[in-house]
Amino acid sequence: MSHLQAGHYQYDEIDRRFLTERVEQFRRQVERRIAGELSEAEFRPIRLMNGLYLQLHAYMLRVAVPYGVLSSAQLRQLASIGRQYDRGYGHFTTRQNLQFNWIKLVDVPAILNDLAKVDMHAIQTSGNCIRNVTTDQFAGAAADEVVDPRVYAEIIRQWSTLHPEFTFLPRKFKIAITGATTDRAAIAIHDVGIRARALGQGAVGFDIFVGGGLGRSPFLAKSLRAELPQADLLAYLEAILRIYNQYGRRDNIYKARIKILVHEVGIDALREQIDAEFERIRGPKYRLDPEIVESIRAHFASPPFEDLPAKSPAFEAALARDAVFARWAEINTVAHRQAGYAAVTISLKPPGGIPGDATSDQMDAVADLAERFSFGELRVTHEQNLVLAHVRRDDLRALWQELGKHGLDTANAGLIGDIIACPGLDYCALASARSISLAQQISARFADPEQQHLIGELKIKMSGCINACGHHHVGHIGVLGVDKHGVETYQITVGGSAADDAVLGAVVGPAVGYDEVVAKIGRLVDAYLELRAPGERFVDTVARLGVKAFREKAYGTAA
Amino acid sequence: MARPADGLKVVSANRLDSGAVVWLAADDQWQHHIAVASVFEGATAEAALERAKASAATGVVVDPSLIDVTLENGAPRAVRPRERIRSLGPSVRADLGVQAGRRQ
């Protein structure tokens, strides 16, 4: 199909026939529900299997973006759906997916049909199954990449999609994979985290981590297996899921994730069980043949890069004459493995904006820019931004100028304004407190580019309930909203990280009211600026001095 | 000014076909504005909820429940932030929801 580009897995006719049949099946199910032939109790699990939730104001449809990779045609289709069936926008999530917030049940079959036209769907974006596999947003581009994780993410996607044994797990199951020396996929906070490595002589192996997760009981993943051979990847994942399926708790939803099994049984005992199952099923049926891997790898072949010098005179000249552009280029681009190229983060966090929201017009604009500047593909990041992964340095200024026309040129990737925030009480039926409006106030307060630059890397992550969709436990500053006797109340943590130095943040002081959160964060930032040693990031200073130093500054007490 | 009104309830649900927030009003009709919702107390609230569940069983609405309210100028106003946002629309998008004159 014409919309599919290099660097993008292409569906075959079997995939497409399946999707068409699935849409028609759901169309009939919706008709039966509307006609009263299905009760809500019968219909609810069916709609959830198709990514359809009932939220505060309307139905919400969560569309799968496998490992965050989109073609420009797919993004245009999402823009079109947003315009036709929603309110002209969509929300990119921490699972690298997209949510529509104002969906009518009666429109969903037509929407799923539109998605299927561009090889997309909403299957397994809800329910107790294996969810969208997530990965490094710079996969296939990053200078520090050792193994392209998209290849294995796609293999895991194919293995896990409609896997009959794992459709009704004790609870949802999330897998993340990285193939770079820097972990940008937050593998430590996933049910299974995978680090793909080069083992020498062209061999690929995997370090497997298990039992990470946030929510009510946060845990970092523990090392389960090192240097798993490529051929055994699916057999080993199968063994993990089987043991989890067998022993994971089903009596208590809050204790059903694999992290609780790891915690209660212990990693060594669990490893014994998994290894035994692995040895039992290891064999031809589950062996990942090199030919299959290579056939998948072919879908992710490098785009036709030009042979360019490492230094771009046009880029260097633009840097010299335009300080605003130079700041954006410094903050929102990263080194590319191909000389003369850069990977670009398109911030969806303008000062005072709603983190992760993009209008249909902005989606169309980014789709156009992806075609013009980045081989027609783009990425969704778990930090709720977009990425054009392969931009010629010669083109960076032109791209930045175009982004500016659509309000997409904010230079804050990784800075204090680049806040992760869940939809919170403004949209989510599970939420206890607002999160978006606090993120808006914080990004507006720290809108000054000079001030953001001065503060440096500072990752604020906010959740509107204990389920932690906003990853607050691993925020450099984390904010958790709870309902305390009908009043929105916020617990602030510091020192968390989801990167290679993964650590859970610590509560810095007593919970505060909605109106106090922004001021408290301001005081924490002031404390950091006062206390930091040269070269230290916020999270480094917390690690060096401990929470107490920040508590004294922000709360005026050592208690 | 809101006056103390412990125990005052309205019945809310979502329309099955659209998901829109609705409120049980006069003649047990589902309306989009909380301001016109019927206010119940005690046993009458439970009875209203039962009628709403009957409505849900016929496929008009889903998930009916009782919502705590106070009265402001004679009109019900949700007590909890969650239900206030449900009754109006997202606090971060004044252009959307009932607050913007939409039905949803």
pLDDT tens string B62-84: 999 999 999 999 999 999 999 99
Q: Is A270:A260 a contact under the CB 8 Å cutoff? A: no
CB environment A377-397: b (16+ within 10 A), e (fewer): bbbbbbbbbbbbbbbbbbbbb
What's the CATH superfamily of A142-299? Answer: Sulfite Reductase Hemoprotein, domain 1 (3.30.413.10)
Contacts 24+ apart (CB under 8 A), B39-48: B39/B8, B39/B9, B39/B10, B39/B69, B39/B71, B39/B76, B40/B8, B40/B9, B40/B10, B40/B11, B40/B66, B41/B7, B41/B8, B41/B9, B42/B7, B45/B9, B45/B11, B48/B9, B48/B11, B48/B24
Of A40, A57, A488, the CB nearest to B81: A488
Give the confidence band of B102 by pLDDT, cuts at 50, 70, 90. confident
pLDDT above 50 (res A128):
yes
d(CA A79, CA A70): 12
pTM: 0.96
- Look up residue B28 and give its two tokens: 């047990």
Q: Is A369:A396 a contact under the CB 8 Å cutoff? A: no
pLDDT above 50 (res B103):
yes
Domain A313-405 falls in which CATH fold?
Sulfite Reductase Hemoprotein; domain 2 (3.90.480)
d(CA A150, CA A520): 40
d(CA B98, CA A37): 31
From B33's Cα to the closest Cα of chain A, the distance in A is 13
Q: How many beta-carbon contacts under 8 Å exist across A and B?
A: 81
Q: Is A134:A212 a contact under the CB 8 Å cutoff? A: no
pLDDT above 90 (res A559):
no
The more confident residue out of A145 and B5 is: A145
Per-residue H/E/C for A487-529? EEEEEEEECCECCCCCECCEECCCCEEHHHHHHHHHHHHHHHH
C-alpha distances in angstroms, A273 versus A102, A141, B36?
45, 38, 60
With beta carbons under 8 A apart, name residues in chain A contacting B101.
none
Query: What local confidence, expressed as pLDDT, does residue A172 receive?
Result: 97
> CB-hemisphere CA count at 13 Å for A87?
21
Give the confidence band of B4 by pLDDT, cuts at 50, 70, 90. very low
pLDDT above 50 (res A4):
no
Query: What local confidence, expressed as pLDDT, does residue A298 receive?
Result: 94
pLDDT above 90 (res A370):
yes
**Would the CB atoms of B18 and A433 count as touching at under 8 Å?**
no
CB-count exposure of residue A431 (10 Å: 0-12, 13-18, 19+): buried
pLDDT above 70 (res B5):
no
With beta carbons under 8 A apart, name residues in chain A contacting B19.
54-55, 57-59, 103-105
The mean pLDDT value of chain A amounts to 96
Bridge partner residues of A507 (DSSP): A493
CATH of domain A13-117: 3.90.480.20
Q: Domain A420-555: which CATH class?
A: alpha beta
- Look up residue A209 and give its two tokens: 């981590």
Task: Name the one residue in this structure whose structure tokens are 């500047």.
Answer: A373
pLDDT above 50 (res A262):
yes
CB atoms inside a 10 Å sphere around CB A370:
28
- Look up residue A446 and give its two tokens: 């720290």
Judge whether B94 is closer than 8 Å to chain A, CB to CB.
no
Query: What local confidence, expressed as pLDDT, does residue A556 receive?
Result: 85
With beta carbons under 8 A apart, name residues in chain B contacting A57.
19-21, 86, 89-90, 96-97, 104
Residue range A79-106: average pLDDT? 97
Judge whether B73 is closer than 8 Å to chain A, CB to CB.
no
**SS3 of residue A107 by DSSP:** helix
pLDDT above 50 (res A2):
no
pLDDT tens string A323-352: 999 999 999 999 999 999 999 999 999 999
ipTM: 0.93
Residue range A454-465: average pLDDT? 98
With beta carbons under 8 A apart, name residues in chain A contacting B80.
483, 486
